[in-house]
Amino acid sequence: MALLNSDFDLGEWGDILEDSDWLGSSSILPSAEDLSSHTTRQDSLERGSNMFPYFTSSVNPPFITPFDSANWDLARQYIAGLAPSNTFIAAAIQCVQVLYRSLDQGNDISDAMQSYFSAKSIYLTMLSSDDQGLEPVLIVTFLLCIFEIVAQQEMIPHTLKQKDPLISKIDTWAKLQPWPPIARRITVWLRWLHTKSMHLGGRGILSPQIFALLPVDRHPVPPLFFLHEDPPEPGLELLEPTMSALFHFYDELQDISVQASALNRHHRSRGTVADETGVHWISINIANHLNSLWQTRPWLLRHPTTGLFSSHPQHNQLCDMLVVLCRVCYFAETIYLDRAQSKDRTASPDAQRARQEIRLSVDEFSSRATTQKHLDAAFLWPLFLYAVESRTGADVDWALSKLRLIQGPLWQSETVTTFIQDLTSEQLSRGERVDSRLFCLQRYGGPPPYI
């Protein structure tokens, strides 16, 4: 495997996918004539929902939802509405729909893999022509990525590690700013997925070149309400400013997290005086960025309030959970930075205080009547970091008790829980930190799941 960047600080090149017979045939896909377009946006949305009912109602990609659920719901309706007139998008939706439904229902994913290879085959055809613009290409690329992220045990995500022609297209489009709102949102989501796939020494889903080419939007990314002609659901327009503030806080937190990942000894040289001096100063800069983010956090993170939108229970529950998630994810990054840069055998005082904050927040949230028997899979990362920095079996048991409340097959929650249980047991028996990635490779024969 040829590597573009020997330090792996932004990821690495994966195997380049060639157009070959094993990809399958696109003959199973509907023809352009079969997917006739309609004249109005509402007609297209209805046709798309009828074609892909599970996608438009139930597909929720890990690491994107619940953090941006409202905009994802708008985006998936819009994307499905494009499918009646675009076979590339239709094929990509189909493979995602089959995979997510199969896993949610506990079924085999062989049909989903066949659909994926068919969609990937015609995606390569899409890239080889100039007929499709920025929006459809980015949408199909994104759909294939949310397939690969979930099917990580069956494949190595490589859609965004290809060379030409994808890079040349993005290079051309990068000069055309600003991108449309849906493209800007997808770019943010791709960076979130990249961050998660860089954790624990992972190689990321973006090649260094694509990572550099995708625009980093430091201005507020607009919500996607305009994608629908109908007015927003009652109450949602009142909730949007709050959701937007939490979205941008979490987005910046992911940028910090990927920087912390780059300090990991699986991503850069460590050990010499020069190596450790460099890591020390980079860590200070990241810690300052993290502290600055917390000092300027949204009002709700300063004064957590439940029942803010009590007249809209569904929105209220989502907002309450996002506030808690943003808090615990912030403290998780404090622990992660300490673990990524430190050579010490135990956590720093700051990391230990962050653990206490995570436990207090999760206990308070999970004690509410509606969440006592279930915890969202988005809590996996904070609970993982709490557990691996625990010094006692009682602390580990608390984390495992919360992890067992999570039922998220798309997030590999059972695999993650087993991994945490085995890793923490090893650490407690040795009385020191154990490298998560090496442990996973030695114990299970493969890298850690995305967390």
- HSE-CB of 183 using CA atoms within 13 angstroms: 16
Regarding whether 287 and 398 lie in a shared domain, the answer is no
Same domain? 296 vs 183: no
Cα gap 316→152, rounded to integer Å: 33
On whether residue 316 sits in a domain, the answer given is yes
Residue 71: closest CA among 289, 210, 239:
239
pLDDT band at 319 (very low <50, low <70, confident <90, very high): confident
- Residues 191, 264 within the same domain: no
pTM for this model (two decimals): 0.89
6 within domain boundaries: no
Domain boundary among 230, 254, 277: 230
- The predicted model gives 181-185 an average pLDDT of 94
**Residue 312, both tokens:** 């809209």
- 10 within domain boundaries: no
Average pLDDT, the chain: 85
Q: Which two tokens stand for residue 31?
A: 């023809």
Query: What pLDDT score does 165 carry?
Result: 84
pLDDT for residue 310 is more than 60: no
Residue 1 has pLDDT above 80, yes or no: no
For the beta carbon of residue 114, count every other beta carbon within 10 angstroms: 14
Three-class secondary structure of residue 65 per DSSP? strand
pLDDT band at 31 (very low <50, low <70, confident <90, very high): very low
For residues 80 and 205, membership in a common domain is answered with yes
pLDDT at 420: 98
What is the three-state SS of 41-59? HHHHHHHHHHHCHHHHHHC
Q: Let me know whether 45 and 119 are in one domain.
A: yes
Angle (CA) 125-126-127 rounded to 5° is 90
Range of weakest confidence among 81-95, 217-231, 384-398: 217-231
Structure tokens at 374: 């279930």
Q: Are residues 212 and 254 in the same domain?
A: no
Residue 134 predicted with pLDDT over 50: yes
Residue 129 amino acid letter: S
Average pLDDT over residues 117-143: 94
Residue 212 lies in a domain: yes
Q: Is 29 left (phi over 0), alpha (psi -120 to 50) or beta?
A: beta
Condensed to tens digits (0 to 9), the pLDDT of residues 346-374 reads 778 899 999 999 999 999 998 875 656 88
Residue 45 lies in a domain: yes
Query: Is 256 found in the same domain as 226?
Result: no
Cα separation of 139 and 152, whole Å? 20
Q: How far apart are CA 326 and CA 316, in angstroms?
A: 15
Rounded to an integer, what distance in angstroms lies between the CA atom of residue 387 and that of residue 84? 47
Residue-number span of the structural domain to which 216 is assigned:
21-230
pLDDT at 142 over 70: yes
pLDDT at 44: 74
More confident call, 8 vs 229: 229
Domain count, the chain: 3
Residues 162, 67 share a domain: yes
What mean pLDDT is predicted for residues 34-50? 66
Picking from 201, 230, 259, the residue at the C-terminal end of a domain is: 230
The verdict on 146 and 211 lying in the same domain is: yes
215 and 97 part of one domain:
yes
Flag whether 8 is in a domain: no
Q: Clarify whether residues 72 and 195 are in a common domain.
A: yes
pLDDT at 262 > cutoff 90: yes
In a domain, 98, yes or no: yes
| Highest mean pLDDT of the ranges 18-32, 149-163, 288-302 | 288-302
Would you say how long the chain is, in residues? 451
Q: Which of 194-198, 261-265, 355-359, 370-374 has the lowest mean pLDDT?
A: 370-374
Taking residues 35-50, report their average pLDDT: 67
pLDDT digits (tens, 9 = 90+) for 14-29: 333 333 333 333 333 4
List Cα–Cα distances, 327 to 24, 65, 293, 298, in angstroms: 45, 16, 12, 11
Percent of the chain with pLDDT over 70: 84
**Is the pLDDT at 121 greater than 70, yes or no?**
yes
Average pLDDT over residues 132-140: 95
pLDDT band at residue 240 under the 50/70/90 scheme? confident
Residue with more model confidence, 44 or 375: 375
Confidence of residue 233 (pLDDT cuts 50, 70, 90): low
Quote the CA–CA distance of 266 and 72 in Å, as a whole number: 33
SS3 392: coil
Q: Are residues 205 and 344 both part of a single domain?
A: no
Task: Tell me whether residue 297 is in a domain.
Answer: yes
Among 192, 170, 180, CA closest to 224: 180
Instruction: Give the position of tokens 């939108």.
Output: 309
